[in-house]
Structure 1
Amino acid sequence: MTLKKEWRHWSVWFFMLLYMGATKPADAQSSVTLYGIIDTGVEYVTNIGSKRSNAALVPTLTGTLPSRWGIRGREDLGGGLSAIFVLESGFAPGQGTLNQYGRLFGRQAYVGISGRWGTLSFGRQYSQIFWGNPGDTLAPSIYAAALLDTYLITPPRTDNSIVYSFSSNGLSFGLGYSLGRDTVAPAVAGGCAGQSASDWRACKSMSAMLKYETPAWGAAAVVDRNYGGGGSGSPLPSSSQTDTRALLSGYVKFATTTLGAGIEHRINHGLQAPGVFNVNSDFWWFGGQYMPTPSLSLDAQFGHLNVNGNPVGGSVIAARAMYLLSKRSAVYLTAGRMFNQSKATFTIDGGTAGTSSLPMAGIDQTGVMVGIRHFF
């Protein structure tokens, strides 16, 4: 073969390979979706602070659902495998500011690979306790039973996490492990020091979930544990301290009615109340949703928290009426009442960050809100 013929021979192969490489991405099925929720309104809250004042407020955290926008993507890699990612940002519609302590993608930020064997993902992700609570028919609404343990409706997310999940024929299983959680939140809000090269337990988090759902009923069991290491001012100052929750939750459906309930046992080795350590508590709730017409949803819920040996628990009742203007838009009226034990300071206002709506110890609170929600 002459040099000229040989060059032609190899050039044909080169351009064939170049064509195959250029067309392969085009053959793969991929998608990127922009999505979001805007949910806000005006609420009225009673008995705030030492003066027991009343206030009209625009919530910053949630209405019926927290406001957010996000981007999710999936690419078909062939052989039953897909590459996935999610970037999700929470914001306060009243000010247009970021939630989750100013993070750009504070709700979720992860990338992973998914196949018939399940999904493995890396980044900032939900704890499995978020996915394993199907019996909560009302949260994360601004007034709900889970205000007695806001960890359930924040919802809990962990930085630097590795998550494996699998779902098939109604059965779901998930495992999550964080190498160092929440370096942005302040210590008093449960923030931690993040990843540590010197203390293998510091700020770690782990969770496991098993769930089964059908169109008529569903049930789930979850275990969630956080390790301390946040230092002075943190609920868990030392890495030897843990905060563990075990949750059972479920629901049943009858035509246009859904009934849900759950119970959570918590063993908290950190500081939960002034001078109180190693506190065990039990939180339970029940509630339901009734849709008399396809456009009208009526919800109600009751919850109670008992802290062993300490009057820092309470009870809450909440209700909501929502009218669906379309598949994307709805208006609603919701109300709640918080009943605090003598040393408890739970607020009914689940829509305001920080301590600005807290009552004095032992004082009850009422909240009422009218709002509008839109999906996009």
Structure 2
Amino acid sequence: MKQSSYKREKGFCTSQLTFRIALLVAAATTFGTAQAQSVSLYGVVDTGIEYVSNIGPSRSDSFRIPTITGSVPSRWGLRGKEDLGGGTSAVFVLESGFGVDQGTLNQGGRLFGRQAYAGLSGSWGTLTVGRQYSQIYWALIGDTMGPNIFAAADLDTYLANSRVDNAIAYSGKFGAFAAGITYSLGRDAVLPAAAGGCAGESPTDWKACKAFSAMLKYDTGSWGLATAFDRNFGGAGAGSPLPASSQTDTRILVNGYAKYGIAAFGGGLVHRKNEGAPFPTSNYWFAGVTVSPTAQIDLDLQYGLLRVRSSPAGASLVALRAMYNLSKRTAVYVTAGRIFNQEKSTLTIDGGNLPTSNTPLPGVGQTGAMVGVRHVF
């Protein structure tokens, strides 16, 4: 994201002045204690109107403004870096996700639910502590539509929301190679157990609610390959998908992308073993293409396939999107998708709202469509 340009938004002259004064005061009070310091304000506002079919027992249709995501989730954040000398810097990120429909906080009502961490960075890599993404998120380079409201990732929503609390993370980039590792002392104490939350850091059970992930990536900018290992431990008790700490939910990702002319192709596989599920083993395949015929137009097409071993609880999905960039910061788009559920599956096409608000009956497909606008600051 780029640093905010308040001149582009009418009515923000006062905020611009206040922000600059605050930075000048901070710089003056710390003069002589650091070589350089910068703080950037950034964000995205993405919203529109969506249509979803076949909701609930009545198979009703709905028009609504989504809460969670459009082409990307809405968020704002602060990113800071201070030069400590000797090639080492102090870094921090505070990032808040919000729903444009009602102005409410996402990620379970957290103020900085998307990211909240601080650490040190240098030529050796970056070491950070706080609420952070799992490494599987940084390895997902073959997903051409990302967290779009209708996308192949609707078949495994964890991939776009793989964050852990109380985490220690290391990441390093060495030429085209990148590697990372994250360990959480207690992955989530905010969400309820039924939604995948856990009890956080446990003083009595060393495995309870822990999480571990690792990533290895080779990315040249024109093509890339990445793999990741991601494991969550249970321990949240009754009502949780993983009630016991001896149970785990593990994903292994292999994916990649390649650019050719005006097109970018991507795809991959996620192999999952969820010991809290009646049928624990599944495979999720995804593939997509993005075509940019002009600097203003981006066209996306994506396919996803989920198969659960020994159970007809999988689904397939087709999604598409056409985006027109009005400027470097503002774009309008139309996106649509269709999910085809197997007879025991209740997966929804709609990644923009809580699943319980738009779930179809078992075996029923859904169609979604949305017209939206996105502004980056």
Compute the TM-score of the two structures, normalised by the length of structure 1.
0.92
* 1:147 equivalenced with 2:148 (yes/no): no
In the TM superposition, residue 215 of structure 1 has moved relative to its aligned partner by 2.4
Q: Deviations over 1:6-37 (max 9, x none)?
A: xxxxxxxxxxxxxxx97522x51110000000
Task: Report what 2:44 is aligned to.
Answer: 37
Aligned to 2:295: 294
What's 1:4 paired with?
none
What is the CA distance between 1:353 and its match in structure 2?
1.6
Could you tell me which residue of structure 2 aligns to residue 106 of structure 1? 113
Other-structure match for 1:352: 353
Separation of aligned partners in 1, 2:195 and 2:307: 21
For 1:234 and 1:373, locate their aligned partners in 2 and report how far apart those are by CA, in whole Å. 36
RMSD: 1.0
Establish whether residue 94 from structure 1 lines up as the match of residue 101 from structure 2.
yes
- 1:16 is matched with none
1:320 aligned partner, one-letter code: R
Residue type matched to 1:178 in 2? Answer: S
Residue 207 (structure 2) aligns with: 201
* TM-superposed deviation, 1:354: 3.7
Instruction: Give the C-alpha shift of residue 246 in structure 1.
Output: 0.3
- Aligned match of 1:24: 32
The C-alpha deviation readout for 1:196-217, integer Å capped at 9, x for no partner, is 0100000000000000111220
1:169 matched to 2:179? The reply is: no
Superposed, 1:257-272 pairs within 5 Å as 257-271=263-277
Q: Residues 23 and 349 from structure 1, CA distance in 2 versus in 1: closer, same or farther, beyond 3 angstroms?
A: closer
In structure 1, the partner of 2:371 is: 370
Moved over 6 A (4+): none
CA distance in 2, matches of 1:54, 1:354: 15
1:201-220 aligned within 5 A? 201-220=207-226
Match of 2:80 in 1: 73
- For residue 94 of structure 1, report the CA deviation from its aligned partner: 0.9
Q: Deviations over 1:46-97 (max 9, x none)?
A: 0000000000010000000000000010000000000000000000011000
Q: 1:356 to 1:169 in 2, by over 3 A?
A: same
2:12 is matched with none
Pairing 1:223–2:250 present: no
What does residue range 247-286 of structure 1 map to in structure 2 within 5 Å? 247-271=253-277, 276-277=278-279, 279-286=280-287
Partner SS, residue 119 of structure 1 = strand
Aligned to 2:138: 131
| Cα distance in 1 for residues equivalent to 2:192 and 2:256 | 33
Moved more, 208-217 or 318-327: 208-217
TM normalised by structure 2 equals 0.91
Identity over aligned pairs, percent: 59
The CA distance in 1 between the partners of 2:242 and 2:56, in whole Å, is 26
Which amino acid in structure 1 is aligned with residue 78 of structure 2?
Answer: I
CA distance in 2, matches of 1:335, 1:226: 32
CA contact (8 A) 2:348 2:355 kept: no
Distance 1:197 1:321, change over 3 A: same
Question: How big is each residue's C-alpha offset from its partner over 1:311-359, in whole Å with a ceiling of 9 and x where there is no partner?
Answer: 1000000000000000000000000000000000000000002410000
Residue of structure 1 aligned with 2:123, choices 100, 104, 116: 116
Determine which structure has more spread, i.e. the larger CA radius of gyration: 1
Q: Do the aligned partners of 2:214 and 2:230 also contact (CA within 8 Å) in 1? A: yes
Structure 1 CA distance for aligned equivalents of residues 30 and 158 of structure 2: 48
- Alignment of 1:178 onto 2:223: no
1:49 aligns to 2:56 (yes or no):
yes
Change (3 A) 1:22 1:106: closer
Amino acid at match of 2:49: V
SS in 1 for 2:358: coil
CA–CA distance in 1 between the matches of 2:100 and 2:85?
A: 41
Runs of 5+ consecutive residues of structure 2 not aligned to the other structure: 1-28
